[in-house]
């Protein structure tokens, strides 16, 4: 899984006190986040996916992860301001039509100098018709959308990378599959 591989590549050398995994789904990355975070909150809207994530955590006897249901499309999530060192979302922002309120809420709950990690399906792939499987509606966000909304909401971009599949022969001859961003919170917005 390319998303899983690049998340580990970009974040495995870091440690955080508090991590919020946004849209954890079935917990594909939850065990990894538990290894780089002392305290991890993993949230999703879908209860059946959360049940699978919870089972994975329990089977590994992981004690530093709390899994709970929340609607990330709501204006405010259930944490105090300036709480997390890392907020991470993997392959879920395509399900949010307007990402600006999402970035505003990440700004509220993230500490100053905290990091916001985003891994998403590359918009070029979406232009060609690729999207998430299932019945959940998907929306295309251009790279400039992420950059503009990030800057407008108190973030600076530390890193952006485009990612292809492992097939080196076709690398750079086809559109990238994923795009990742690491934003840093520079200021609190009101």
Q: What is the model's pLDDT at position 27?
A: 96
In a domain, 45, yes or no: yes
Q: Is the whole-model pTM more than 0.85?
A: yes
Q: What is the model's pLDDT at position 31?
A: 97
In a domain, 160, yes or no: yes
In a domain, 60, yes or no: yes
Question: Range of 162's domain?
Answer: 2-185
Angle at the Cα of 186 from the Cα atoms of 85 and 140, rounded to 5 degrees: 80
- Find, among 145, 159, 149, 158, the residue nearest to 189 by Cα: 149
* Direct distance between the N- and C-terminal alpha carbons of the chain, in angstroms, rounded to an integer: 38
In a domain, 97, yes or no: yes
- How many structural domains compose the chain? 1
* Model confidence at 135: pLDDT above 60: no
In a domain, 43, yes or no: yes
pLDDT digit string, tens, across residues 10-57: 999 999 999 999 999 999 999 999 999 999 999 999 999 999 999 999
pLDDT digit string, tens, across residues 47-101: 999 999 999 999 999 999 999 999 888 878 878 899 999 999 999 999 999 999 9
In a domain, 12, yes or no: yes
In a domain, 58, yes or no: yes
CA distance 172 to 110: 35
Q: What is the model's pLDDT at position 172?
A: 67
Angle between helix axes 143-152 and 99-109 (nearest 10 degrees) is 40
**pLDDT bracket for residue 167 (50, 70, 90):** low
* Model confidence at 168: pLDDT above 80: no
In a domain, 190, yes or no: no
Q: What is the CATH number of the domain that holds 98?
A: 3.40.50.150
């Amino acid at each position: 899984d390319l998303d899983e591989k690049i998340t580990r590549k970009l974040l495995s050398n870091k440690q955080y006190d508090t991590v919020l995994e946004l849209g954890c789904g079935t917990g594909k990355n939850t065990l990894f986040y538990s290894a780089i975070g002392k305290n991890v909150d993993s949230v999703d809207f879908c209860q059946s996916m959360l049940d699978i994530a919870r089972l994975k955590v329990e089977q590994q006897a992981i004690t530093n992860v709390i899994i709970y249901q929340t609607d990330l499309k709501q204006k405010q999530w259930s944490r105090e301001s300036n709480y997390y060192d890392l907020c991470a979302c993997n392959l879920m922002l395509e399900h949010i039509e307007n990402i600006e309120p999402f970035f505003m809420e990440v700004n509220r709950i993230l500490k100053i100098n905290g990091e916001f990690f985003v891994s998403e399906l590359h918009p070029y792939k979406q232009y060609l018709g690729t999207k998430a499987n299932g019945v959940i509606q998907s929306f295309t966000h251009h790279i400039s959308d992420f950059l503009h909304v990030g800057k407008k909401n108190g973030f600076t971009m530390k890193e952006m990378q485009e990612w292809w599949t492992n097939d080196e022969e076709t690398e750079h001859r086809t559109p990238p599959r994923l795009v990742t961003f690491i934003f840093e919170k520079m200021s609190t917005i009101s």
